[in-house]
Structure 1
Amino acid sequence: MSETPGIAAPTLAELQHWTWVMGRAQQMMMAQGLDAITAPLDAAVPEAMVVPGFNDPATLSRVRDFWRDGFALWQQMLVPAGGGAAPQPEPGPATDKRFKAAQWREPVFDLIRQSYQTIGDQMLRSVDAVEGLEPRQKEQLRFATRGFVDAMSPTNFALTNPEVIEKTIETRGANLLQGLQNMMADIGRGQLTHTAQGSFELGRNLAMTPGKVVLRTPLYELIHYAPTTERVQATPLVIFPPWINRFYILDLNPEKSFIRWAVEQGLSVFMVSWKSADASMKDVIWDDYVAAQIEAIETVRSLLEVPAVHTIGYCVAGTTLAATLAVLSARGQADRVASATFFTAQVDFADAGELAHFIDDEQIALLGTLSPEGFLDGRYMAATFNLLRGRDLIWNYVTNNYLLGKDYVPFDLLHWNGDTTNLPAKWHKAYLTDLYRDNLLVEPGAMVVDGTPVDLGRVTTPAYVQAGREDHIAPAASVWKLTTALSGPVRFVLAGSGHIAGVVNPPAAGKYQYWTLDPASTDAPSSLDAFVAAAVETKGSWWPDWVAWLRAMGDETVAATGARIPGEGALPALGESPGDYVRMR
């Protein structure tokens, strides 16, 4: 039998040549097509022949950009390693941690990665170019498009992620089985897992600052923390955390705990721990939370026999604190609060950030169907907040824990983030409609709490307003508006990082920075941009700046004895901190 000559495999140079031929052919066809489409425009044909979104100049410009970026990828594939033409710049962000692994620089996956980034970039550009939409509608469309682009990343699919393919071969599929187990567990819980289960326990390695529950109502518990100094500030501090989350964000662990640090500064600290809503709270409205804040203030004043207290309101509790101050002012009781500190709180919701994308009549009606027993399951809110940072809080875990089958990393902040609370449905609906949708709080008298019209302009209480530079929940520009809504002296501080890390930033960590106005400055900035232009940057935590501001209003101290010790005054201890309500699901 005669031997048939073998067929020689193509060389790298031959492959590059034929790839170039195919790419050049595509280029010629695309150019011809563009010429045909643009010809009527050059000939000044009637405007009726221009179809928006198809052959109008702006659309054609975007098509050319897309073609140019796409052909640049072909050029990169054709250039021999180490020589030839200069490499083309990559489309999309220069640094994208989703693609940091070296496998994404291999030819096939490099092309997949860059193609994805090119298409995603063009989709977002197309949204920006859409005409005829209201600004809010365009922002909603951009938000939805960005979410879609993030969801379609090749990192999220086993067959287009080289790390997953490599791991599957290495483990003979064990990673996919483990990932499936992780996914099924999350489906059973109805919530995405972010950190290792069982790694944290209240009172053991979370919420550890010693104290006693000294009051329990149907809506909240009041915790009084044990002093650690022989003398304490005469004016106590009452903290109102948001009831959308558990209070212990301010008491994560001894190193991160704002509460422990405040106690160590010689402050008498009280914390409100809100009850997670159940069917018994179906009639709770905003008035009840304002009344609860007033009640807590009065309880501490009476217990310690002091004329006034310092207060802190975080996020939604800060919004509520502003209304509380307005009610007290209208009732002639403003002097019962010596100062008010606002952590990332908004009162003017005209530019409330990305959360506003979830608030329209249809979505508010949908929430009603999700609350048949009078309360909204906290897992719905958790899913909403996750969507605001879908790349980090959703798809990152799909890749790592579902596809790669990795173990979850113990992380106290993410444990807190997943420790959801339920919300009273009636309050939640009114909050979304009255504040986010209709923005009534900044209109004097537009809202009435327990028979008292709310006018923030009557509030003259000294205020410390803190905002996070990268806050995606309460944008710094929105928080800034609190400085003009109140009539008293205000110190505004812009902290590095976002809604949580910008607040929970202990001095010992040496992280981030904050900006304040130069004390010598006499011009009051009219906007956040003007503030930033005039502000002085200080490295590290803003906490020392805050406590210095607090002490400047009065540094009188008293012995840490008697009622200053939890449970030894008129209110006996009902239990150890962190209390019962924080454990209710």
Structure 2
Amino acid sequence: MNARNGIPASEQRREASAWQGGIRPRYPETRIEHAQIDLALNAWLGRLTAWVSPAALGAAWQDWAAHLLLSPAKQIELGIQAAADGADWLRYCAGALLGGGGEAVRPLAQDKRFDDPAWRAWPWSALSQGFLLSQKWWHRATSGVRGVAPHHADVVTFVARQLLDSVAPSNFLATNPVAQDVTRARGGENLLRGALRFGADLRRALAGTPAAVAFRPGREVAVTPGTVVMKNRLVELIRYAPQTAQVHATPLLVVPAWIMKYYILDLSPHNSLVRYLVERGHTVYMISWKNPDAGDRDLTLDDYRRLGVMAALDAITAQTGAPAVNACGYCLGGTLLAIAAAAMARDGDARLASLTLLAAQVDFTEPGELSLFIDDSEVAFLEAAMWQQGYLDTRQMAGAFQLLRSNDLVWSRRLRHYLLDLPDRDNDLASWNADATRMPFRMHTEYLHNLFLQNRLASARYLVGGRPVALSDIGAPVFAVGTMTDHVAPWRSVYKIIALTETEVTFLLTSGGHNAGVVSPPGVAGRSYQVALHPQDARYLAPDAWQAANALHEGSWWPAWEAWLARHAGPARAPPPPVAGAAAPGSYVLAP
């Protein structure tokens, strides 16, 4: 026993190793009292700042402001631009008063706030054009300042956009002609009903009560017939009932992300990827993750690998007798599956026939807009919240995702609900999006440090069983899917799997975003994709060159993947014998 705080020497070495590995040690209640004070203060402060670190924001602002102060050329450029924008606005206003047309500046393609014809009439046109010109000027002011760290520049640009969006003329009755027209037509009833709705939403938010959803697992969604064939403290393994007389010999394991519930891949019958696969002769197994609580605070990322991926593989091979399994991972589930595959390859475990990664990153140097909320300061802030309650709450994660699309998820929603009194846009994907999960303190801490901040997996420094794993060891063929407008796993980041592995990789780029791009059943208009095989011995092709070189195909990407999967799924045979268990969707997905 060493004298330091009464902690055994072996435990001291373990904690020191954890620090060297990039993982912060836990903070047991009986140790490191000063750290508990810091954590308690940060946890309290986080409730006031929506879990955004004021230190991180302050550092970004200081970096930008100091370098702008040291850049007189940039200041002159901004002054000239402000004068030009002001002249453009005055010229536009004069033309509008005289009945002229035209625009001083156009909104971005995804900005629908001023689409209504009412915004083209005076004086509303002047308000909208003035706002858009201000938005354009602030984007110039917060970007391209010499010497500012790229991350800080992105943060300042993002915060400026959030502040501008909060005062957009579309948000207020006095400056929104559409809301005024609705109010006159309805005699103010929309405002009264909006106020009542706001009160109900506020009461529900203060009480922490989730909003009611129209699509419930096991009733309207997650209804593909199946059985829970294995259960442990972290997962339920669902095997879906066969829908064909014969099935492929090699079953498929699907590993969804644990940040949300699994049924994104089994929504309504018409857009269920699971149903699509079983109707084409695949034996599909799905992991359903437990929604962790404070008692699960010490679950590790390796527990998710062992109790999730590896336990599922053991159960599947035992139940079916198949020597190998096709495996598919979505989002974080794909990252975890890649870790498991690399560890299996290192250890000579050949039970993976193929690997499919859906919108999943294995290299985190370009992680998308979520990186705005992930740096050392922000991670320390999140750790305080997780330390206090044992997990990262759904509301703390939802706030970040809403800010990334504040026009659609915050301000436009408030306009529709509180000023225009429009009904909710209920659909299965929106209901799933509201059905978020928690994440254990230790697992999420390890994920943020080892993968997001230190990128250990891509650099062959991630440890499994005390030894590093390398993606280059993976020998199974890979099918990787990126989505064009993904803000969580940008497609160029997903594409890096080609450079990090030494096996054949089929890469597919589909239209849509992180969720809607994956949930892309046949028959939906406006969908398209590109796909190409990268042989094992082929030269690397940069992502933009790959995109330019490959033809665009109209329609869903599902048939292209299913055809590839069928080639690796073996011959047809009788379905494996049934296994007794509870009916799908099981109990874990229903837990609040």
What is the match of residue 582 of structure 1? 589
SS in 2 for 1:370: helix
Inter-CA distance 197–552: structure 2 relative to 1 (3 Å threshold): same
Change (3 A) 1:448 1:96: closer
Tell me what 2:115 maps to: 100
Distance 1:381 1:137, change over 3 A: same
Q: What corresponds to 1:294 in structure 2? A: 310
1:323 is aligned to 339
**Is 1:534 the counterpart of 2:541 in the alignment?**
no
Q: Measure how far apart 1:172 and its partner are.
A: 3.7
Residue identity in the other structure for 2:411: W
Q: 1:282 — aligned with what? A: 297
Conserved? CA contact 1:315–1:346, under 8 Å: yes
1:501 to 516, 528, 534: 516
SS in 2 for 1:224: strand
Q: Is the 8 A contact 2:485 2:512 kept in 1?
A: yes
Deviation, 1:409, is 2.1
Alpha-carbon distance change, 403 to 450 in structure 1, aligned in 2, over 3 angstroms: farther
Equivalent residue for 2:401?
385
Runs in 1 of length 4+ with deviation above 6 angstroms? Answer: 80-84, 518-522
Shift of 1:584: 0.5
Q: State yes or no: 1:267 paired with 2:277.
A: no
* SS class of match (1:453): strand
CA distance in 2, matches of 1:349, 1:192: 36
Q: In 2, Cα distance between the equivalents of 1:175 and 1:190?
A: 22
Distance apart, 1:375 and its partner CA: 1.2
1:157 match = 172
Indicate the SS of the match to 1:167.
helix
Give, as a single letter, the amino acid of the residue that structure 2 aligns with 1:141. Answer: V
1:352 to 354, 363, 367: 367
Measure how far apart 1:95 and its partner are: 7.2
- 1:143 and 2:158 aligned: yes
Please, which moves more after superposition, 383-392 or 465-474?
A: 383-392
Structure 2 letter corresponding to 1:577: A
Match of 1:429 in 2: 445
Match of residue 8 from structure 2:
none
Give CA-to-partner distance per residue, 1:525-553, whole Å, 9 cap, x none. 43211211211211111111111112223
Cα distance in 2 for partners of 1:519, 1:437 equals 29
| Distance in 1 of aligned mates of 2:104 and 2:223 | 51
Shift of 1:237: 0.4
Residue correspondence of structure 1 range 179-258 to structure 2 within 5 A: 179-190=194-205, 197-258=212-273
Q: How does 1:552-563 map onto structure 2 within 5 Å?
A: 552-560=567-575, 562-563=576-577
- Give the Cα–Cα distance (whole angstroms) in 2 for the partners of residues 192 and 119 of structure 1: 38
Distance (whole Å) between structure 1 residues aligned to residue 183 and residue 76 of structure 2: 43
Cα distance in structure 1, aligned partners of 2:541 and 2:457: 21
Give the Cα–Cα distance (whole angstroms) in 2 for the partners of residues 368 and 521 of structure 1: 41
How many angstroms apart in 2 are the aligned matches of 1:177 and 1:450? Answer: 61
In structure 2, C-alpha distance between the alignment counterparts of 1:408 and 1:102, rounded to whole Å: 23
In structure 2, the residue matched to 1:78 is 94
- Does the aligned pair in 2 maintain the 1:312–1:341 contact within 8 Å? yes
Letter matched to residue 583 of structure 2:
E
Q: Which residue of structure 2 lines up, in the alignment, with residue 477 of structure 1?
A: 492
- 1:133 aligned residue (140, 148, 153): 148
Q: Check 1:189–1:324 CA distance in 2 against 1; reply closer, same or farther (3 A cut).
A: farther
Aligned position for 1:9: none
Which amino acid in 2 is paired with 1:322?
A: A
Q: 1:259-313 CA deviation, whole Å, 9 max, x = no partner?
A: 0000011000110000111122111010011112011011101100110110000
CA 1:192–1:60 in structure 2 vs 1: closer, same or farther (change >3 Å)?
farther
Kept in 2: contact 1:191–1:379 (CA 8 A):
no
Structure 1 residue corresponding to 2:454, chosen from 431, 438, 443 = 438
Letter in 2 for 1:404: L
- Equivalence map 1:445-456=2 (5 Å): 446-456=461-471
Does the C-alpha gap of structure 1 residues 141 and 95 become closer, same or farther in structure 2, counting only changes over 3 Å? closer
**Tell me, what secondary structure is at the counterpart of 1:129?**
coil
1:272 partner SS: strand
Q: Distance in 1 between matches of 2:214 and 2:173?
A: 29
Per the TM alignment, residue 422 of structure 1 is displaced from its structure 2 partner at its CA by: 0.8
User: Match for residue 22 of structure 1?
Assistant: none
Per-residue displacement from partner, 1:194-229 (whole Å, max 9, x unpaired)? x98442222221111111111111101011101110
1:279 & 1:80 partners in 2: Cα distance? 60
> What is the CA-CA distance between 1:554 and the residue it aligns to?
4.8
How many residues get paired?
Answer: 523
**Cα distance in structure 2, aligned partners of 1:192 and 1:75:** 51
- Note if contact 1:515-1:532 (Cα within 8 Å) is conserved in structure 2: yes
Structure 1 57/365 Cα, relative in aligned 2: closer, same or farther at 3 Å? closer
Aligned with residue 430 of structure 2, among 392, 395, 414? 414
Deviations 1:374-420 (A, max 9, x none): 11111211121111111111111111112222221211111111111
Q: 1:510 to 1:160 in 2, by over 3 A?
A: closer
Q: Look up the equivalent residue of 1:584 and give its one-letter code.
A: A
* 1:426 maps to amino acid: R
Alignment CA distance shift 1:312-1:76 (3 Å): same
One-letter code aligned to 1:288: D
> CA separation in 2, counterparts of 1:466 and 1:555?
22
Identity in percent: 35
Deviation for aligned residue 1:109: 0.9
For 2:410, the equivalent position in structure 1 comes to 394
What secondary structure is seen at the aligned counterpart in 2 of 1:352?
A: coil
How far the C-alpha of 1:88 sits from its partner, in A, is: 5.0
Partner-residue secondary structure (3-state), 1:72 = helix
**Would the aligned equivalents of 1:525 and 1:531 in 2 still touch at CA under 8 Å?**
no
After superposition, the C-alpha distances for 1:163-210 in whole angstroms (9 at most, x for unaligned) are 2223333334332232233333333333999x9844222222111111
Aligned to 1:177: 192
**Alignment CA distance shift 1:180-1:453 (3 Å):** same
**Gap change, CA 1:218 and 1:83, over 3 Å in 2:** closer
Q: In structure 2, do the counterparts of structure 1 residues 364 and 186 end up closer, same or farther at CA, with 3 Å as the change threshold?
A: farther
Cα distance in 2 for residues equivalent to 1:317 and 1:94: 32
What secondary structure does 2:239 align onto? strand
Conservation of the 8 A alpha-carbon contact between 2:504 and 2:535 = no
CA distance in structure 2 between the aligned counterparts of 1:578 and 1:281, rounded to whole angstroms: 22
Q: Which runs of 5+ in 1 are unaligned?
A: 1-50
User: CA contact under 8 A between 1:214 and 1:223: conserved in structure 2?
Assistant: yes
Q: Distance in 1 between matches of 2:408 and 2:222?
A: 26
Deviation at 1:514, TM superposition (A): 0.8
Distance 1:94 1:366 in 2: 35
Is residue 91–residue 121 contact of structure 1 (8 Å, CA) maintained in 2? no
Moved more, 177-186 or 261-270: 177-186
- For structure 2, list consecutive stretches of 5 or more residues without a partner in the other structure: 1-66
Q: Which residue of 2 aligns with 1:23?
A: none
Structure 1 residues 520 and 384: alpha-carbon distance in aligned structure 2, compared to 1, 3 A threshold: closer
| 1:457–1:486 contact (8 Å) kept in structure 2 | yes
SS at structure 2 position matched to 1:470: coil
What is the RMSD of the two structures over their aligned residues, measured on CA atoms? 2.5
Structure 1 contact 327–452 (Cα < 8 Å) conserved: no
142-151 or 435-444, larger mean C-alpha shift: 142-151
> Deviations 1:223-268 (Å, cap 9, x if unpaired)?
1101110000000001000000011101110111000000011000
- How far the C-alpha of 1:340 sits from its partner, in A, is 0.7
| Kept after mapping to 2: 8 A contact 1:190/1:379 | no
**Residues 299 and 443 of structure 2 are in contact (CA less than 8 Å); yes or no, is this contact kept in structure 1?**
yes
Q: 1:369 aligns with which of 384, 389, 404?
A: 384
| Residues 153 and 207 of structure 1: CA distance in aligned 2, closer, same or farther (over 3 Å) | same
For residues 200 and 191 of structure 1, the distance between their equivalents in structure 2, rounded to whole angstroms, comes to 24
Q: Which of 478, 481, 487 is matched with 1:466 structurally?
A: 481
Q: Which whole-Å CA distance do the structure 2 matches of 1:456 and 1:94 have between them?
A: 38
